[in-house]
A and B are shown apart, each in its own frame.
Chain A
Amino acid sequence: MLSVLKKLPLSGKIGVGILTVLLMAAIFGPMVLHDPYAQNLIHSLEGPSAEHWLGTDQIGRDLLSRIVVGARYSLLIGIGATLFGAVIGVAIGVFSGYFGGWLEMAMMRLMEMLMVFPGILIALMVIAVAGDGLVNVIVAVGLRAVPIFARLAQTSTHTIREREYILAAKAVGASGFRILYSHVLPALFNSLVVLAALQVATSILVGATLSFLGVGISPEMPEWGSMLNTGRRYIFQHWPLVVFPGLAIMITVLGINLLGDGLRAMLSKQHGRGVVLK
């Protein structure tokens, strides 16, 4: 793990730094900060103070602790949706890429149909059908990523299955599933990691967009998108309500993208030297 960190370019290291701070805040922050749901109307819309570092929101809740707790929702949606998309997408892609035939044909046309729709539209449709709730949001946002993972897995599997070592494995009698598991998937790993990192960033943005539109997540939950939506009303009166949640989204997405780019640079360099990260 440390050796990986050392090999990352500077931008990647910055990304890791941002994400570490964010993760720490998301995990431990709520233990030391105010209750993000505790309201005090007398102290609504106050500016930053020693008591409330970023001030308070429209019903007197501590803005900093809401943003910190919001990191949990955003990371949960980002990582959860990406995992959902990756697991299903890679499974579809690898199977259809390896076995080919009508299965590949059907699956890939299905994926293309999904790709035609903008991600936010798919997510809105899923929420409209399945209803509100955090799990539904994760599925809705994750569904958008399924065809992206499936495409990558399918095309790469296509190339890999023609390699000599796959032929060798077949020759010694390995089953199709064994080949997929022990030979194809590890070969895909590098590109999947990079794609996943970038997809986490996109998923966070789509998730925040949904809640900004008032869909999926109850407005009392401190999610960054819905905080932005509420704060919009007070933009001239009390700017911190929009600026800080906005900054939180920006910094998080920036951090993840930096990490993703760093990983890509590092892995392509290693690949050039013939090293496979396992």
Chain B
Amino acid sequence: MKKLLLPLVLAGGTMAGAAAQAEDLRILLPSEFSTMDPMEILSGDQTMVMYHIYCRLYTFDDSMSPVPELVASEEVSEDGLSWTLHLRSGAMFHDDTPVTADAVRYMIERMREKGGSQQALFKAISEIEVIDETTVVLKTEKPFPALRNSLAHPNAGLLSPDADAAQGDAFGVNPVSCGPFEFVEWQRGSHIEVKKFDGFYREAGDVDGITFQFVPDVATRQFMMMRGEADVALRLGPAEAQQVSTVDSVRTMQLLGRNMFYGLNFAKAPTDDIRVRQAINHAVDKETIIDRVLQGAGRPSRSVLEAMLWGSIPVGTYEYDPEKAKALLDEAAPESRKLVLLSPDNRYLLDSQVSQAVAGYLTEAGFDVELKVIGDWAGYLDAVKTLDFNLYMLGWGGSTGDPDQVLQSLFKSPRAGKAWNYSSYVNTDMDAMIDDAGTTLDDEERRAKYAEIQEQLFADAPWLFMYRGANYTAVSDRVSEIHTLEGPSFHYVFTLPNE
């Protein structure tokens, strides 16, 4: 096999070199999306493309800490309620209008009006005051220590107010922002092309253009990489990564990514009973699933706040104990032992395989499992939204790096039955604890509060805790620089500020 492939690789490499400039990259993504409007970021692949087009006031460094991007300097009032941000002068949008303080106000207000999946992001801001062209003051009623994280979030991409007003609903398919790359074209079902934005305020590396190509099939991504037809391929499984790395010009990186879990439905029997939820957690052997199904690509999840989140502590794991699971189930004696398990297919690494294994374990423990695998992601989310399930699979990346946003989205009562509290977890004590921790300024105190929250959530078992998943990214030697954001699980190929 290797002998056969070697000439192909050489031929492919030469062809690519002759046909295109060395700095044009082709990046293979597994899934397409419907919009690039920053109000509606739903997937890591979508985030990855948008991260190259949109600019933000802050950006994340390699350890997920926010560092200034378009902000030249900041002043925080002593009570922590007022943030004065001075923008860099000279930053431009792709349509040659300047990035002003007004654009910042516009972005935050648009986010709050139009809503979308990350509505919680700027909920804390009570007042936005534009002082002059480059100065904006953000005021909050309670201290909001995570403001920098929120402003660095991919959803907080600035957009040209003129272009947005002119385009209306079409903005999401023709985004105009101020990032290092500007949008060129989007061929539905095929690719998105971007080119280097010459007006970007700083040096951002030597990549001239990127084609993000959508290749849902993992084997095709693997073979395109091996033939030299692509420079980066995301989300390969362990088997594919091993095959790809037999080619000399390709290296692979393990991307420890999302915190994988099955959300348990509090609003549908029998998972409304804590003992049933505990039984489910004890019934599934996560270690063996990681070892055999994932072939080592992951490690057991130990908290709701896994995945590069500030304040995360390893609370623990529910041990695999089928006897205990059966005993708990007998004690709960639910009227019906039927569980509806929703699983996506080819969205996360080996997702439907893991779901089959989980269904097998749950059947062994005495449940009557109906496994529904839904291949396309939009259809899967529609099925989740009907709330007619007991378990649904989800991976959470924690895209701000701050735990507040994850907890606000996943565990607050007002969001019960909506994105992303599809588990309908309702607990007013928890609501207060989350709000309290989110507004605590002192780091030590804040850490202690998050520890308490994590322990309580672990005990309530709103999830079947699974694993922190890993997948592999293949990178050809034509790529000189590639950064990784482990939380939201994607890469970008431009330089950080101050590098």
Contact = CB atoms under 8 A, between A and B. Distances in A.
B193 interface: no
B357 A41 contact: yes
Nearest to B356: A220
B237 interface: yes
A233 B360 contact: no
Contact of B375 (A214, A220, A237): A214
A219 B288 contact: no
A233 B219 contact: yes
Contacts of A233: 218-219, 237, 239, 350
Contacts of A136: none
A219 B352 contact: yes
Nearest to A38: B360
A39 interface: yes
A59 B243 contact: no
A120 B220 CA distance: 23
B289 interface: yes
Interface residues of A, number: 21
A32 interface: no
Interface in A218-241: 218-220, 230, 232-234, 236-237
A42 interface: yes
Contact of A234 (B239, B291, B352, B363): B239
A42 B288 contact: yes
B285 A41 contact: yes
Contacts of A214: 345, 373, 375
Interface in A42-58: 42, 44-45, 58
Looking at chain A's contact residues, the main secondary structure is: loop
Contacts of B363: 37
A9 interface: no
Interface in B31-52: none
A220 B288 contact: no
A172 B219 CA distance: 69
Interface string B260-304: 000000000000000000000000010011011100000000000
Interface string A20-49: 000000000000000001110110110000
B371 interface: yes
Contacts of B243: 236
Given A233-B218, A236-B243, A219 B356 contact: yes
B108 to A, nearest CB: 41
Given A220-B371, A230-B353, A60 B292 contact: yes
Contacts of B373: 214, 218-220
Contacts of B352: 219
Interface of A: 37-39, 41-42, 44-45, 58-60, 214-215, 218-220, 230, 232-234, 236-237
Interface of B: 1, 218-219, 237, 239, 243, 285, 288-289, 291-293, 345, 350, 352-353, 356-357, 359-360, 363, 371-373, 375
21 contacts: A37-B360, A41-B291, A41-B292, A41-B357, A44-B292, A44-B293, A58-B353, A59-B292, A59-B360, A60-B292, A214-B345, A214-B375, A220-B356, A220-B371, A232-B219, A233-B218, A233-B219, A233-B237, A233-B350, A234-B239, A236-B243
In the complex, the 5 A-B pairs of residues with the closest C-beta atoms, listed nearest first: A39-B360, A41-B292, A41-B288, A44-B292, A214-B375
